[in-house]
Amino acid sequence: MTATVTAPPPTLAATTSGRRKFKNNLATVLVTSSFVVAVIPLVWLLYTVISRGLHAITRDGWFTRSQRDITYKDPGGGAYHAILGTFEQVLLCSIISIPIAILVGVYLVEYGRGWLARTTTFMVDILTGIPSIVAALFIYAVFVTAFGGSRAGWLVSLALVMLMIPVIVRTTEEMLKLVPNELREASYALGVPKWKTILRIVLPTAFTGILTGIVLGIARVAGETAPLLILVGYSPNTNGNLFNGFQGSLPGMINDQVANIGNTRVLVNGRPVSIHYAADRMWGAALTLIIIVMALNVIARLIARRNKVTN
Amino acid sequence: MSERETASPQASGDEPAGAHTGRRPDEGEPLPPPMVGGESIVEQPPEGGEPINWAEQGMRASLPIGSAEPSGIATLRDQAPVVGAGSVGLGRGKARRGDRIFATLTTTSGLFIVLLILLVAVFLVVQAIPAIRDDKSNFLFSRDWTVEGGNLHFGILGLLWTTVLISFVAMIIAVPLALGISLFITQYAPRRLARPVAYIIDLLAAIPSIIYGIWGIVVLAPFLEPVQRFLYHIGGFALFKNEGISRGTVFNAGVVIAIMVLPIVTAVARDVFERTPTANIEAAWALGATRWEMIKMAVIPHGRPGFVSGAMLGLGRALGETIAITLILSKGFEGQPFSWSIFSNGETFASKIANAAAEFNDPKQTGAYIAAGLFLFLLTFAVNAAARAVVARSQVS
């Protein structure tokens, strides 16, 4: 970018002393190689997950069966219970987060003034940086220790709300700031009240941008594991009830299978046989999760590209 | 139309798009705002601070959206968008009531966020205090952790050390890499390459941390063993001491966390380096600087506060990372002697809590873990607040 505009004239470069030239070349090599170094883990990780997880998820029943009655010694089973659990928890989380986060974004851009706005901005920053395990401990401290509730899927959703809200607030804020003032003023000039201007003019204009934020927020919380450990037990059975009992989830399933990937020997008729069912299922669940999260990210990019306001 | 020329050269439509970042007009769209796992970490433009990108972007955006007068009024764009503007207080009756309700609703949401953070602090403190009071060891300076059977002996020193050591290893690796990558994207890569490269780095942030965890211990750990053996030999001092642990070391976890924080630091750094004033860059070229000298003279000094704050955001993430560390780091055994070595093992705040999550039944015992969580909360709070402070201070000066 800047580089291509303003490359130094060749005559000057020619007078550059050897030492400076060497330093410059060294910097170029280091900078370029740092990018290559960063790509290695990405490619390596994606390759690992895809190559090891593919045959698990292409197997019959992966998307329709649960892990009911399947121990590490048994092949098969599916991730239906986990996908269902993750879907429900994220859905409840979204239902709670989206309205609150959009209202906060609207507050910060359209209304926010004085100490409350400054404090809110700061607190959103803090919420962005809050470790997921602390969010989970907080929900546990409130709903289990203080109110005596029991662990269930909806508590996970509440913890995820704390992680999702800042993502959507930030995007909403940015998108609302991009809505041209002329639109608001035209609306006011026509005598439309402010609240109606925001609901009918400002928010619809920024809609695609906000949608991008929502999708990215969902992608962020779908892979969260720490709240699952604290707030709901993992169940290998299908449990569609968010408010009662343990529930499976994709990260929970990975965490459950990982405990048994070391058990690779079973005795069949007194003879040791090598197995890797748990590892297969673990990578299968990981691939399923990555597919969901990556798809959400790609969707967010596509929405962002069609966004009228940013581009 | 002639008003436009006279109004403000900064926002004038005659200036090539993106001119203030030194971009050639035919080079296409600016990079999208950096996203990290869905969080946009672009700093909010300061009120009345340096020329705001939004202003220019807003102007370009206004063209297709149906403003009949594409030029608009240039001076308007330098103002913050209509905070508190509109018809509030102008009339009576229905419209006003609607406004009042909506204003209350949004303000309440803002208040809710503030209260939420306060509640986090209050609940954690209230439930940690009984456990800390019953603690027979020193909470801050002890490395014990025995909480079973109502006999509380716990302290956070060991957890703090492991947490800091892992973050240290991660930052040592991630910060120079992030510097290199962001310079590559903003100063070296051809425009056509810069966008996909930035996207690839952002993808690293999209991968869930549990997948980093299983990959880090199953796939990466065996590859790190030879590196570790090599470091034993060149080391010889406490930090590289051989503790006889081949996998699941602090080093192992630190490398994985480095990969996880890399996109965060890179995204912030990329954003600040991109905003280096063209005047500074061209001044460096005019002095006959090589590209590297130009970067040292113009890009780095301008971007330093932003880069530092990005690194601290990454540090905040590293301190609080849970499941990847829980899966990778081996726990060690009860009463294991203390080691300075990065090839030792242990538990961090987050992994300690996660490992014990299944045994949260007795409130006192749980209180000990909540106390650890409280300390982690304060630690990340401090790091994040400091990161914001660095940016705020640089924008004032």
d(CA A50, CA B72): 52
Q: Give yes or no: residues B157 and B27 share one domain.
A: no
Residue B88 lies in a domain: no
Residue B370 lies in a domain: yes
- Contact of B248 with B221, CB cutoff 8 Å: yes
Q: Give yes or no: residues B171 and B316 share one domain.
A: yes
Q: Give yes or no: residues B205 and B331 share one domain.
A: yes
Give me the interface pTM, i.e. the ipTM.
Answer: 0.90
The residue among B77, B75, B104, B76 whose CA lies nearest residue B88 is: B104
Best of A107, A118, A137 to mutate (most B CBs within 10 Å, chain B): A137
| Residue at B217: amino acid letter | I
> Are the Cβ atoms of B37 and A216 closer than 8 angstroms?
yes
User: Domain ends where: B78, B107, B130?
Assistant: B78
| SS3 assignment, position B226 | helix
**In chain B, which among 304-323 make CB contacts under 8 A with chain A?**
313, 316-317, 319-323
Residue B35 lies in a domain: yes
- Chain B residue with minimal CA distance to A36? B181
> Are the Cβ atoms of B106 and A109 closer than 8 angstroms?
no
Indicate which CATH number applies to the domain containing B176: 1.10.3720.10
Give how far B397 is from chain A: nearest CA, Å.
20
DSSP B154: E
Q: Give yes or no: residues B181 and B312 share one domain.
A: yes
> Are the Cβ atoms of A194 and B381 closer than 8 angstroms?
no
The domain containing residue B71 runs over which residues? 2-78
Please report the DSSP string for chain A in residue order. -HHHHSPPPHHHHHH--HHHHHHHHHHHHHHHHHHHHHHHHHHHHHHHHHHHHHHHHTSTTTTT---TT--TTS----SHHHHHHHHHHHHHHHHHHHHHHHHHHHIIIII--HHHHHHHHHHHHHHHH--HHHHHHHHIIIIIIIT-----HHHHHHHHHHHHHHHHHHHHHHHHHHS-HHHHHHHHHTT--HHHHIIIIIHHHTHHHHHHHHHHHHHHHHT--HHHHHHS---SS----TTSS----HHHHHHHHHTTTT--EEEETTEEEE--HHHHHHHHHHHHHHHHHHHHHHHHHHHHHT-TTT-
Number of domains in chain B: 2
Q: For residue B145, what are the β-bridge partners?
A: B154
Q: Give yes or no: residues B169 and B294 share one domain.
A: yes
Q: Give yes or no: residues B243 and B377 share one domain.
A: yes
pLDDT tens, N- to C-terminus, chain B (397 residues): 343 433 344 443 343 443 344 444 444 455 555 554 444 444 444 444 444 444 444 444 333 333 333 333 333 344 445 555 554 444 455 657 889 999 999 999 999 999 999 999 999 999 999 889 888 888 888 888 888 776 788 889 999 999 999 999 999 999 999 999 999 999 999 988 888 888 888 888 889 999 999 999 999 999 999 998 888 887 667 778 888 888 889 999 999 999 999 999 999 999 899 989 999 999 999 999 999 999 999 999 999 999 999 999 999 999 999 999 999 998 887 777 888 888 888 899 999 999 998 888 787 888 999 999 999 999 999 999 998 888 777 765 5
What's the distance, CA A229 to chain centroid?
17
Residue B315 lies in a domain: yes
CB atoms under 10 Å from CB of B335, counted, come to 8
Residue B112 lies in a domain: no
- Could you read off the pLDDT of B204-236 as tens digits, one per residue? 888 999 999 999 999 999 999 999 888 888 766
pLDDT at A148: 87
| SS3 assignment, position B316 | helix
d(CA B100, CA B110): 15
User: Domain ends where: B78, B98, B125?
Assistant: B78
Alpha helices in chain B (DSSP H): 2-7, 53-62, 94-134, 157-183, 191-206, 209-215, 221-235, 250-274, 278-286, 291-294, 300-320, 323-328, 349-356, 363-396
- Select from B101, B201, B373 the Cβ nearest to the Cβ of A38: B201
DSSP B372: H
- Could you read off the pLDDT of A149-168 as tens digits, one per residue? 889 999 999 999 999 999 99
Residue B235 lies in a domain: yes
Instruction: Please compute Rg for chain A using Cα positions.
Output: 25
| Residue at A132: amino acid letter | S
Q: Give yes or no: residues B334 and B202 share one domain.
A: yes
- Contact of B144 with B154, CB cutoff 8 Å: yes
Residue B93 lies in a domain: no
d(CA A28, CA B300): 15
Please give the C-alpha separations between residue A115 and each of A105, A118, A123, B80, B111, in angstroms, as whole numbers.
16, 5, 12, 17, 11
Q: Give yes or no: residues B68 and B167 share one domain.
A: no
Residue B118 lies in a domain: no
Which residues of B fall within a CB distance of 8 Å from A196?
95, 98
User: Domain ends where: B58, B78, B98?
Assistant: B78
